[in-house]
A = this chain, B = another copy of it.
Amino acid sequence: MVKVGDEVSNKQVIFRDYVIGSPKESDMYLTTGTIKLKVPEGSNAVLVKNLSICPPVFGYGVAKVLDSGHPELKAGDLVWGITGWEEYTLITKTTDTLIKIQHTDVPLSYYTGILGMPGMTAYAGFYEVGTPKKGEYVFVSAASGAVGQLIGQFAKLEGCYVVGSAGSKEKVDLLKNKLGFDEAFNYKEEHDLNAALKRYFPEGIDVYFEHVGGKMLDAVLLNMRHHGRIAVCGMISQYNLDKPEGIKNLLHIGFKWIQMKGFTHRNYYHLYPKFLDLVLPYIREKKMVYVEDLVEGLESGPAALVGLFSGRNFGKQVVVVACE
């Protein structure tokens, strides 16, 4: 059992260099450094033991405070926020990046997912940007992922009709059978995305939660309804292309008075308490579920990250680093 002040070994995943294109496992390596389990004298830093982390390097994670110079955090507290891809992290930028966990009757890993950054992303994107109304038509791409699965469930709870797209039969089954989507399809099996959307949305789409960009966005623009809203969370299909694909149907924004809005969960943290008030009861009453793809051990991290870019993950990818 480690204690404050100990100097201990610290396993870390390190990137060799700036990555161009999708990351490969060979872009990363595992190393072991040492860390002193103590915050510097007079700082308001926090020294944490990481429990669960998300694959992206400056990822979000759940951690336990071992030592703290921060006035509102003390040893033993559980927190979620931006941490490191390692066993122990000295977090010096604590402003806005660490939130104390108040409710522990739910799985702790949920604070990397439904109750953490992806949850806030889904909440802000769906409610604040998407401004859904009962009976509206909602489309979600990357629908079985960390955020998409929540959008679908929020949409159903609000009385919307919701269709998701994903990249395998298993994910499509998950959407329809476990997550309650009205319909779902495998975009890899549709050679004409416009036709697919017309099939699932004969009346058009009111709210689109944009994760992928490219051809899917072009097809969606053709199928949006007047006054539709597109919440842009990311366009992962485009990040690692040398040149992004051109979007050809943007004219529809003007024709159909569509709102397309980029956003980040970070702009909405003032709503976190309101968000918890909504979601915690849903979790406790089993009105919402959350599908996690848990892998064990920091050394599984690089493969998990690489898998995200090819859609290999099944639900929210979480790397479990340690038990509490």
* Chain A residues at the B interface, C-beta cutoff of 8 Å: 210, 213, 217, 232-235, 238-239, 243-264, 267
Contact = CB atoms under 8 A, between A and B. Distances in A.
Given A217-B250, A246-B246, A259 B259 contact: yes
B260 A259 contact: yes
For the residues of A in contact with B, the DSSP-based class is loop
A255 B262 contact: yes
A120 B262 CA distance: 27
Of all A-B residue pairs in the complex, the 4 with the closest CB atoms, nearest first, are A246-B246, A253-B262, A254-B262, A259-B261
Contacts of A245: 246, 248
A257 B263 contact: yes
Contacts of A250: 213, 217, 235, 244, 247, 250
Contacts of A235: 250-251, 254
A260 B233 CA distance: 14
A130 to B, nearest CB: 13
A228 to B, nearest CB: 10
A256 B246 contact: no
A253 B260 contact: yes
Contacts of A260: 253, 259-261
A48 to B, nearest CB: 29
B248 A246 contact: yes
A248 B253 CA distance: 16
Contacts of A262: 252-259
Contacts of A217: 250
A86 B213 CA distance: 46
Contacts of A249: 244
A260 B235 CA distance: 16
14 contacts: A213-B250, A232-B254, A233-B254, A235-B251, A235-B254, A238-B251, A243-B248, A246-B247, A247-B247, A253-B260, A253-B261, A257-B263, A258-B261, A260-B260
A142 to B, nearest CB: 13
A239 B253 CA distance: 13
B259 A251 contact: no
A254 B234 contact: yes
Nearest to A210: B254
Contacts of A254: 210, 232-235, 262
Contacts of A232: 253-254
A87 B259 CA distance: 39
Contacts of A251: 213, 235, 238-239, 244
A232 B254 CA distance: 6
A257 B246 contact: no
A258 B100 CA distance: 30
A244 B213 CA distance: 17
Nearest to A255: B262
